[in-house]
Structure 1
């Protein structure tokens, strides 16, 4: 799988970044792979985050989650270990009543009681969280507590949580809430009724990182991660965009290799082998225009290894002849491809140069269809330039 990822990334990024990123994308896909081999891999369970920080070689797969914001209270701890995580979608801020009813009071005391009663609704919810924290976090087990809420948490509630040493994140994205439950365990609750320890997830480390004005919350060291984060790092926007594009290609390459349980040799070996097969097929009794069509298709396939040789700075004709001669000498089950460094023939499977099966199938199927569509075009209309 790493070889498949390495081949897919080789045309996108440099050799140093390729080795690191190939292992990272392979680990990410293996983490989210379903237990049933017949099920498809859901790449939406892999969050792709970027930080303009360090070098591209520092890109890694985090078995957990990275949130693009941090705690909103300065008194909250910035690093916690052995954490229980409460994932919730409950408003912990004062909200005005949506009803159009009117409330009247005749004295300042009644106004104070009314304000206290309105505040009590939110405070009771916060106290439920604090009570759960005191229940599960003791001095003996050394556990800490983290709250990740999809809705808001007002300053008073944040202050109450901070006094208890609770790290709280508010207004998390919905997709991150789903991924967090898969990464850390537990379940996302929509109400604090019957709130108990069974709703909590666990993580070995939760910490906050600040880069300039941006804050990031890392939830790491989870036991059975079914959702992970690809953290892209780079010194500038161009590097980050390049690594993001390569990461998407690498993730899909590993996904397809797992789902299809088959790969084909790369380095132009597939095209050379198919060219040889079609040329023999054209000589086996096909006559007329069909023979010309098969030969034309076979010659067109050699465009790929020829392009590889040309882009690598080698003599195109000499390289193709060497690869074709090496293929004819291969034993059944082995193939010959192009070594981009020397321009000579090599065994791509032994070098770990592998391509996805579905990519080659798509190439063969669409090439003929596109050629036929182009031949059916009678005229081409071009739009005139503006101002003419």
Structure 2
């Protein structure tokens, strides 16, 4: 064993928490792992803190693996809705209805965000779409500086990139893929039920 195999700690001390004695090692050089100590007045609160920390760590892990993030606060859904609505105009036949239905379904996310924050969903969506139209009239391209999301505190439109509100790319991708598959399966089951009822009548 050589000195290179050893680590360095700037501060090592013992501290008593409740009835337990803990050894704290701090000010380490190039630490490869850390310990998070969480305390709470009861088990329920401690579980909530634990879940919040786990969610935060997973979000950081996903961001590092994806090497990118998606604008949050409903901004991504609003952009996707508007782009799909434009694309629907170029689609012919019944497929146009499907594209528009998919675009409308994406607006459920900002509507739910507004409703959960205590705001009127329809009024909030009108504000967001009006602001998005104004932003589009001033700029010809989409950039982090030209985003429109919902401010949950006020119910007004805001730029999520400017206040640091983001979603994980992999999570958003999985949600969209899963919703599409689930919707297709539900429609398939509906068709099977109809076919079954028709055969019984015959």
TM-score category of the 2 structures, normalised to the smaller one: 0.7 to 0.9
What is the CA–CA distance in structure 2 between the aligned matches of 1:263 and 1:367, rounded to whole Å?
Answer: 20
Alignment partner of 1:254: what SS?
helix
How many residues of Structure 1 are paired with residues of Structure 2 in the alignment? 184
Q: 2:83 aligned with 1:277, yes or no?
A: yes
Quote the offset at 1:376 in angstroms.
2.5
Deviations 1:284-332 (A, max 9, x none): 1x12221111111111111110001111111111110110111122232
Highest CA radius of gyration, 1 or 2?
1
CA RMSD of the aligned region, Å?
A: 1.8
Q: Verify: 1:344 aligned to 2:159, yes or no.
A: no
CA apart distance, 1:197: 5.2
Alignment partner, residue 55 of structure 2: 249
Q: After TM superposition, where is structure 1 displaced by more than 4 Å over at least 4 residues in a row? A: 195-199
* Inter-partner Cα distance in structure 1 for 2:181 and 2:4: 56
Aligned counterpart, 2:98:
293
**Residues 15 and 23 in structure 2, CA contact (< 8 A), matched pair in contact too:** yes
Q: 2:20 aligns with which of 199, 202, 214?
A: 214
CA–CA separation in structure 2 for the residues paired with 1:344 and 1:198: 56
Distance change in 2, residues 1:196/1:292 (3 Å)? closer
What are structure 1's unaligned runs of at least 5 residues?
A: 1-194, 380-388
The structure showing larger relative contact order (alpha-carbon pairs under 8 Å, at least 6 residues apart) is: 1
More helix, by proportion? 2
Aligned match of 1:231 in 37, 45, 50? 37
Judged with a 3 Å threshold, the aligned counterparts in structure 2 of structure 1 residues 349 and 200 are, in CA distance, closer, same or farther, namely: closer
Structure 2: runs of 5 or more not aligned = 194-202
Partner Cα separation in structure 1 for residue 122 and residue 173 of structure 2: 26
Give distance in 1, aligned partners of 2:147 and 2:22: 48
In the aligned structure 1, how far is the partner of 2:62 from the partner of 2:73? 19
Superposition deviation, residue 354 in structure 1: 1.2
| TM-score normalised over the length of structure 2 | 0.83
Distance 2:45 2:78 in 1: 35
Give 1:199 deviation, angstroms. 4.7
Aligned to 1:323: 128
Q: Take 1:196 and 1:345, find their aligned partners in 2: how far apart are those partners?
A: 60
